[in-house]
Structure 1
Amino acid sequence: REFVFGVMFIPLGFIFAWFSIFGNSAIDLVANGATELGEIAVNDAAMGMFALFEYFPYSDILSFAGVVIGLIFFVTSADSGALVLANLSSRGMTNDTDAPVWLRLFWAAATGLITLGLLFAGGFASLQSVSVIAGLPFSLILVLYMMSMWTSLKEEGNKRKASTLGTANVLDSGKSWKARLQRIV
């Protein structure tokens, strides 16, 4: 429960705070005459954040913090993806073990090289196109995961109900199910 809470709500709270503070600040600045900020954000979205930071004190520190946060996000995502790919491509693993480190490094290097190849071949637009195309089949897999989770949760609920009913006394003269079973046998 704590893990799910931490994974779901802490990043969500950070995102809400980030967009509330910096998003509303940018909207307020553009509404009050900083039209060049809006033009930079529309024409070059990647530079929009840094242009916004120029309106705040300590803009160099904010820019550095933004780069570090982005780097941590990308490295964490790449590491998680490499771990999942390595675990899925390994045999004979138990629930308590992860794939070997060399396999994680292989998948990290492979995804990095594919990304670099796409960036050099067609730029950021080709990388976005491949991400969208690859995301469509994955979205179908996610729907299957959700249906499986729903089925598992229903089964878990039925097991929980059954375990509470099995220990309760029933109408047959107050005898438990064990006593009735013993009588039948």
Structure 2
Amino acid sequence: MKYFLLFFLAMYMYFVLKNFYTIWKIRKLINVLSDYLNSATLSNSCLGKCLITKENYQQCLKEVLFYYPVIAKFQTCSDFLGYGIPETENYIAAYRLYNNLMMRDNSIVHAFTESLNPIYTLKRIFHFPSSFISWMGFKPSIIFSRLFNAFSWIVTYLLGVYSQEIKYLISTLIHK
């Protein structure tokens, strides 16, 4: 029981810290995108959309492009930033990515508050066996996952209870 409690506390801290770190990372990216969006203004002219840049535009663009691989990990839309792309397209894509990250921040904050509940950690621990199967590439159904989780934890418990008998059985099979 002592080991389970230590394991539970370690997993609880892991989930809380992981979500906290993700919030920090997303907010850093939001600030970078916000600085970039504030370094220019998009105006409509008779020739089309025109970007009016401020003096810190190039520096902010370089910083956004530097952080773009991290931004892409949280990206849920098809917009992308890059070198050699027209400034207006980069700016519009950055605006969409900014809005996307703001929504992603809301969901991560929700996940963080959910992870503060100890029952969340118990549920995650209970789902370890099916999470391992998913990690290996299989996509089990919800019913199979629940049955497999219950079966795995029952087998784990029984192995702990009957460990001496199992050792004796194996040793007798090997020595015959």
TM-score with structure 1 setting the length: 0.27
Q: TM-score, normalised by structure 2?
A: 0.29
Higher relative contact order (CA 8 A, sep 6+): 2
When you count strand as a share of all residues, which structure comes out higher? 2
Bigger radius of gyration: 1
